[in-house]
Amino acid sequence: MSQQPVVIIGSGLAGYTVAREFRKLDTETPVLMLSQVHAGFYSKPMLSNAFAQHKNAESLLIKDAAKMAAEVKIDIRQSAKVTAIDPEKMQLQINGEAQPYSKLILALGADPIRLPLQGDGADAVLSVNDLDDYRGFREAIDGKKNIAILGAGLIGCEFANDLVVAGFKVHVIDLAPQLLGRLLPQESAAFMQRKLEQAGVVFHLGTTTQKVERVGGQLSLVLANGENIIADVVLSAVGLKPKTALAASAGIKTNRGIVVDSLLQTTFPNIYALGDCAEVEGRVLPFVMPIMQAARALASTLSGKPTPLHYPAMPVVVKTPACPVLVSPPEPGAQGAWEIEENDDGIKAVFNHTNGQMLGFALMGAAVSEKASLTQQLPALS
Amino acid sequence: MKTWQCVVCGFTYDETKGDPEHGLEPGTSWENVPADWSCPDCGVAKADFEMVEV
């Protein structure tokens, strides 16, 4: 009987990295990657700063599926929609056909969260969560001038900076009173806001978009504070929701994400999850560095050497050239306080536990140069 | 001297500046960056992902 493949559902960074790392350890076992779309490899973090890099959707595509399959030595099936997983029989339903697996890796990613909006323009609000979305967004803004961005988080601020530098008029709306609400202390957020405002971005904070209506080829946004913004294109960047439906329908435990232990194993043996869809011991970390760490640990486990995932400290770079940012937020509920040092060139915020241990930091502007020395002082996450 | 970009996260490595924080003197060519160096922003190993010249 021939050996059943390791099947990876998803062709994003998580799927490709686990395939590549596994191939370093095991050159024999067949690996089948399933992609809902075309499985082209690209840099997702660059979608929100591609203008500054002089890149469009075509130049962001690094390699297509055929090249990736040859390079990583795996099979890739495009337009493969998995409709069901049967953990007992160890098989999938793909486009109505059964596909057995020996090990199954869920690298499904996440969906953009969509705000409930009223008005006949609500369906015109765009999200950019993959390369195809990005292509559509670039087409939509071609020749246009006014962009409204819903969300002043990491992705919203990166897009705002990128678009304002490219010559667009950019408005950013967020219910939170500050930028990057979940990552930054108030003083740092205020510094970043000033820098982005100096670059030309207009912020509307502490309010929310209630209605989007079509007005003569443009979109009119009505905010809860009574303001009215006219935009050619509205981009929503209010966060991501892990894709859990497929796993949940198979009886795999899900919470915020697909629940996995430190071996990245779900509640079923031989089914694993990583990346933006996974909740690893209570944490959902939709960033590149955690994916790389998880992919290496999982590849080792798949090759027969169970390897628990240990996260080191993983500062996140926010790609806003008007205000370079490096942030390593303290864990939710951490005991301690921020200490802030600020001057014209930058701001350094350090979160210290009451016992003196540094638990997080947010560096901006010139302070980013202290990255290496401060990162060394951070404890590992697990 | 050239500038290289990480294909995964967009980090740029400028040969003229090197990466002194991680032991690479200014002027270190990409060729001479050791194989165990990894992208300081995303952790991608040099050996895994070719940096692209920009």
pLDDT for A337-355, tens place per residue?
999 999 989 999 999 999 9
For A196-207, write each residue's pLDDT tens digit.
Answer: 999 999 999 999
Query: Across residues A70-99, what is the average pLDDT?
Result: 96
Q: How far is A34 from chain B (nearest CA, A)?
A: 20
Q: Which helix (H) or strand (E) holds A84?
A: strand A82-86
Sort out which chain A residues have CB atoms less than 8 A from B8's CB and list them: 13, 43, 45, 288
Q: A182 falls in which pLDDT band (50, 70, 90)? A: confident
Q: A330 falls in which pLDDT band (50, 70, 90)? A: very high
In the prediction, which pLDDT does B38 show? Answer: 86
Is the separation of the CB atoms in A298 and A272 below 8 Å? yes
The residue of chain A nearest to residue B39, with distances taken between CA atoms, is A289
Tell if the CB–CB gap between A292 and B41 is shorter than 8 Å.
no
In the prediction, which pLDDT does B50 show? Answer: 64
Query: Across residues A286-309, what is the average pLDDT?
Result: 96
Sort out which chain A residues have CB atoms less than 8 A from B43's CB and list them: 288-289, 292-293, 314
| Distance from the first to the final alpha carbon of chain B | 11
Query: Across residues B1-30, what is the average pLDDT?
Result: 88
Q: Tell me, what's the ipTM?
A: 0.81
CA A13/CA B43 separation, integer angstroms: 13
Query: Across residues A198-226, what is the average pLDDT?
Result: 97
| Distance from the first to the final alpha carbon of chain A | 41
Give Cα separations from A337 to A192, A340, A351, A353, A361 (angstroms). Answer: 20, 10, 5, 7, 11
- Per the prediction, chain A carries an average pLDDT of 95
Q: B54 falls in which pLDDT band (50, 70, 90)? A: low
Q: Which of residues 26-45 of B touch A (CB under 8 A)?
A: 40-44
Sort out which chain A residues have CB atoms less than 8 A from B6's CB and list them: 43
Is the separation of the CB atoms in B8 and B42 below 8 Å? yes
User: Which of B5, B8, B10 is the closest to A319 by Cβ?
Assistant: B10
Q: How far is B48 from chain A (nearest CA, A)?
A: 8
The model's pTM: 0.93
Q: Does the pLDDT of residue A1 top 60, yes or no? A: no
Give Cα separations from A6 to A150, A166, A226 (angstroms). Answer: 40, 44, 55
In the prediction, which pLDDT does A2 show? Answer: 64
In the prediction, which pLDDT does A137 show? Answer: 97
In the prediction, which pLDDT does A265 show? Answer: 98
Tell if the CB–CB gap between B44 and A372 is shorter than 8 Å.
no
Q: Does the pLDDT of residue A156 top 60, yes or no? A: yes
Query: Across residues B4-9, what is the average pLDDT?
Result: 84
In the prediction, which pLDDT does B12 show? Answer: 85
In the prediction, which pLDDT does A339 show? Answer: 97
Looking at the complex, does the CB of residue B47 fall below 8 Å from at least one CB of chain A? no
In the prediction, which pLDDT does B51 show? Answer: 65
Q: Does the pLDDT of residue A356 top 80, yes or no? A: yes
